[in-house]
Amino acid sequence: MQINTTINDHRIAKLAAFAIALHMLEAVIPSPLPGVKPGIANIVTLYVLFKYDFSSAAWVSMLRVFASSLLLGQFLSPTFILSLAGALLSLCVLWLSMHLPRKYFGAVSLSILAAFAHIAGQLMIVRLWLIPHASVAYLIPIFALAALFFGVINGLITHQLLNNNLETKLENKTDSASSTAT
């Protein structure tokens, strides 16, 4: 069976693999509170959104959510549903906020908005499905604070990566690696 792939597909696959690796890395870092995570894989989503377009970013994000959950053995578990809800809502918000004037709103803005959307999506699932109880409200400020903090950090990292042209360096590296392999 032959699937015809384009350069774009390869690029998405490469970037998604990178996002999955970051997601795996994060999965082994212990978290003080379940749910409070840096979300470093979102750096890749943001990077792709700025560098390429929204559909590439959506592909990378969705591939990351599905593949990571398969790798961690969480596919279709509540963790996966939470991850999916967060990713979907933050993609929606990214789609809306990418129309903001680029002159004033950079990676940091989008990162913060996406981080808030991420926890909002997750908390909605928690409230509606997992813990249908008002006590969840006590956790909202903590999640919001974490979203703001990591949103700023991830945004700054993305900003730096975009300026450094990281991907061309990576491509050169993988090109030289594949040429030595052959």
Partner 1 sequence: MLAGDWLIVIASSVLVIFLFQHLWSHEHATTVQIRLDDTVYGTYSLNQQRDIHVNGTLGKATISIINGKARFSQSPCHNQYCVHQGWLSRSGQAAICLPNQLSLELIGETKHYDSLNY
- Burial string for 42-78 (b: 16+ CB within 10 Å, else e) reads bbbbbbbbbbbeeebbbbbbbbbbbbbbeeeebeeee
Closest to 38 (Cα-Cα) out of 20, 26, 25: 26
Nearer to partner 1, 86 or 155 (CB): 155
Nearer to partner 1, 102 or 173 (CB): 102
CB of 106 to partner 1, least distance (A): 5
CB of 163 to partner 1, least distance (A): 12
Is the alpha carbon torsion for 165, 167, 171, 177 positive or negative?
positive
Q: Beta-carbon neighbour count of residue 151 at 10 Å? A: 25
Give the single-character DSSP code of 77: S
Nearer to partner 1, 130 or 137 (CB): 137
CB of 153 to partner 1, least distance (A): 12
CB of 120 to partner 1, least distance (A): 11
Nearer to partner 1, 43 or 113 (CB): 113
Is the alpha carbon torsion for 141, 156, 158, 31 positive or negative?
negative
Q: Beta-carbon neighbour count of residue 13 at 10 Å? A: 14
Nearer to partner 1, 73 or 141 (CB): 141
CB of 84 to partner 1, least distance (A): 24
Residues near partner 1 (CB under 8 A): 100-101, 103-106, 108-109, 112-113, 116, 133-134, 137-138, 140-141, 144-145, 147-148, 151-152, 155-156, 159
